[in-house]
Structure 1
Amino acid sequence: MKKNDLSDLQENCFCFCDEEISREAPFQVPIDIPEGFTIDSAEAAAAVTWSTDNLSCISEPCLIQTGPEPEDIGVQYAVRVQGTVTLLVSVSPVRNQYGQGDGAVSVIYNAEIDQVVYYSDNPDDCPDFSGITIENLVVVPPFYGSPLSVTGTIVLVPEPDQRSYVFTANTGDSTVSVIDTDVNTLVSTISLSDIPTDLGVTLDKAYTYVLHRNANLVSIINNETLT
């Protein structure tokens, strides 16, 4: 990106894409049992239905470093999900004080959402809210005066499929080539400030370290963004 373009972006208050990605939203919903009724925590089960009518998606432009020079700046889009997910949380079985009946008690809970779920090169790349799921439902017994509650996780966006890449150090032009092994295609060429001599990948596969032996320098590649 040219310096003039970068100045224009900075004047428009674009910041770097440094907000942490969070694809899930945990919740905890207190359940008040009506007087005269009981729930056995050992056998209690929770169920949740939900509505995303009050949820929206915002695409926020932000800056990424694409190379070693200060002017090597590109634009990505932080995909932010905002609003509320309305949950109808039920617990059963509910019985009267004599152990009779087999009903349920339900409450409505609004989970507030405001988080970046991923970064994208496409400004229109919003998630499909029909794909939202609820996972890890647990009925938590009352303790120390607190009511019985239900905890769980709203999965706003599933984890992306893990791609497999091969990185090659190109000593001729001080770059690293990134090859997608699923399709055997070059997907990115990353410019470096000096000749790469060796490569190493962290155990969690999150980063690739590039050694520049003659320059006493190490470059770090983010394997998710390939920058």
Structure 2
Amino acid sequence: MNTIKKIILSTALLTVYSFIYGQSTQKSDKEVIAFVNYAKANIFKIDVSPIYQFNRIKNESIFTFPEYEHNWHGVFSRKELDYIFKQMKDTTNKSVYIAQNHPSQSDSLGFLFYKLFDLKAQIEHYGDKDSIDIYSLKQISADCSVCSTDTVRRSLVNRFTNEYNQSINSIRIFIKKSINEYSYKYSKPIFVRNFKYCVFIFSHEGRGHIQVYKKANGIWSLYKTIVDFSTNEGLY
């Protein structure tokens, strides 16, 4: 009987632990996503995208060494620093996976290229007088006041060409934004004091930054820059 009670109690405790852990993980993931979106929009000044890819920043772990602890002076307690340093040394950098309700960047880019291919075919099709019969052109222009099939043809070519050029421009903007976004690398945000403070480590064009952000009234703002360093061979 006692054995059965122990099994029931153990199962109940495991269920409660799993629930609490699951809730904690969901909250952590939510906070990570929200902060990275904040960073992209306000620190990096780039469009927010559904990409959450974390990287170890070269030389970041050096600032967990005792000789560099003076950089952290007056910000965190010893216990908090131990936790932060442990996270900084962690090589796993687990990514956050969330369901997206909108196309990913790769899907969007694929659609744009598909649209270009289709528009190019339309331009070639309607631009060739022998490629389409007059009846089909009249059907296309049935709901417009233009009677001349040549005018309709030119109108269609102009419309498709304009859309084609707009798509080309969209792809150029897309690629430029993507290059800008991927020029930034960042570690997974480290939260302390119940998500009130965040240690954020990122790099851009060979420069690394360790910064502390503070949340007040639900809004993040820079609290202190711990150190700026080189991600090349030298540190400064």
TM-score tier after normalising by the smaller chain length: under 0.3
What is the TM-score with the length of structure 1 in the denominator?
Answer: 0.22
The structure where strand makes up a greater share of residues is 1
Structure of larger gyration radius: 2
Higher RCO (Cα < 8 Å, 6 or more apart): 2
